[in-house]
Chains A and B, each alone.
Chain A
Amino acid sequence: MEAFDEALAALERRLAGEEPEEPLDPALASAVAALGGDGPLDLERAVALLSVGVRLLERRARLLLPPEPGTRAAPPGEEEGAPGSAEELAGRLSEYRSFREAAELLRRYEELQAGRFPGGGGDAAAAGTGLEGLTLEDLVRAFQRVWEQSRPAAPQEIPREAITVEACMDAVLARLQSEGEVEFTALFEGQTTRRQVVVTFLALLELVRLGRVRVRQERAFAAIFVSLRRNEP
């Protein structure tokens, strides 16, 4: 990804007016090519490229427009702070760069601090919620998909299922103990009624609340995995 970072930096310099405008297409194309690579698409970098690319194209498009009636046609970069002017865009880019630098600094602090483990009941920051790479809302959304596939009970049926949240919690823990990491949707396999599905999800939420399981998602839209947290036998 070094090639991509260099290509992105070149585009940023162009946006800041530090490099000549022409030609833009090959520069964008080389950044896109470097982004593709052989591995999976890096969404973070793709968003950074889109952000810079859109700003460059926006500026280019503005230069193609005729000047507003009654205004002097100013050469590129001389619009003196007008909204969307090269000057303003360069200012915003400079501001963004300084926050990127601050983020890099935070990453170094995080790296240093990651090598020290606190005493006294562990690391509250690391313990967090047990959700990694996803929010509770994402988890509920994933459950909605499972819910839509589950079958509502027949109206004439009076269910008398001896299923409890506690029993489901034990079942989920037992499965995680034997299988290690389990995909979220796999927890619901074989459950045909909505009652079973709901109780299993409640059991999972309770295990998350108690800090007994870890739920992680590597990146947006990827599969969600559930595993035991440390200290679980």
Chain B
Amino acid sequence: MRSGLRALIEALLFAAPEPVPLGRLVEVCGAAEGEVRAALAALAEHLAGEEHGIELAEVAGGYRLFTKRRFAPQVEALLAEGRPRLSPAALETLAVIAYRQPVTRLEVEEVRGVQCDHIIRQLLERQLIRVVGRKEAPGRPFLYGTTPLFLEHFGLRDLSELPPPERLGGGA
């Protein structure tokens, strides 16, 4: 591994406002992909030590530094603002969209049995879902899908980390 590469990556991830994909790190560091991967693994191992308060995680198709969970109460107290949680209805709507995407509002409502336009607007404003196209059906309704922020909000690398539908109760 090139000397200083681990420290460089640590600096880049510290400054980045969102998860950095591997390709972008390779590009900015000017190193081979294998070297960057090795440096990332070394950084993750280094930060995992008890003497560090942050850790490296792979989320939403990239790498990002996070504070360790055991310091959550103090960090939350410092920021004086908890992270807003989603309501059960919003989580249910997101689950339908995540598993069925691309999906129309009507299709989500058919599953949930209640109107979802308000919740869908909220999820759009929070950038957890986005319009990914229009369905070739009467009225050409919008099709919705999840966003990288959705993955980040739930700490997922990608959608394949969600359990397959057949492993859920009724088989979503």
Contact = CB atoms under 8 A, between A and B. Distances in A.
Contacts of A47: 89, 114
A50 B114 CA distance: 9
Interface residues of A, number: 51
Interface stretch (B27-35, B36-44, B77-85, B134-142): B77-85
B111 A99 contact: yes
Contacts of B13: 119-120
A103 B85 CA distance: 13
A120 B64 contact: yes
Interface of A is mostly: helix
Contacts of A136: 125
Interface string B135-172: 00000000000000100111110000011010011111
A22 interface: no
Contacts of A120: 13-18, 64-65
Contact of B67 (A94, A107, A116, A131): A116
A48 to B, nearest CB: 9
Contact of A123 (B55, B83, B156, B168): B83
Interface in A111-142: 112-126, 128-129, 131-137
Contacts of B18: 120, 124
Interface string B55-81: 101000000111111001001100111
Contacts of B149: 124-125
Contacts of B165: 98
A229 interface: yes
B68 A110 contact: no
A103 B91 contact: yes
B81 A135 contact: no
A105 B163 contact: yes
B129 to A, nearest CB: 12
A107 B83 CA distance: 13
A189 B20 CA distance: 47
A117 to B, nearest CB: 4
Interface of A: 44, 47, 50-51, 54-55, 92-107, 109-110, 112-126, 128-129, 131-137, 214, 229-230
Given A99-B92, A103-B92, A118-B64, 10 more contacts: A94-B169, A98-B169, A99-B111, A113-B153, A114-B72, A121-B17, A124-B17, A124-B127, A125-B128, A135-B122
Closest 7 pairs between A and B when the two form their complex, measured CB to CB = A94-B170, A102-B95, A121-B17, A113-B155, A98-B170, A115-B69, A116-B66
26 contacts: A55-B113, A92-B111, A93-B170, A95-B170, A96-B112, A97-B170, A98-B169, A98-B171, A99-B99, A99-B112, A103-B95, A114-B72, A117-B67, A118-B64, A118-B152, A119-B65, A119-B67, A121-B17, A124-B17, A124-B18, A125-B128, A125-B153, A133-B87, A136-B125, A229-B81, A230-B79
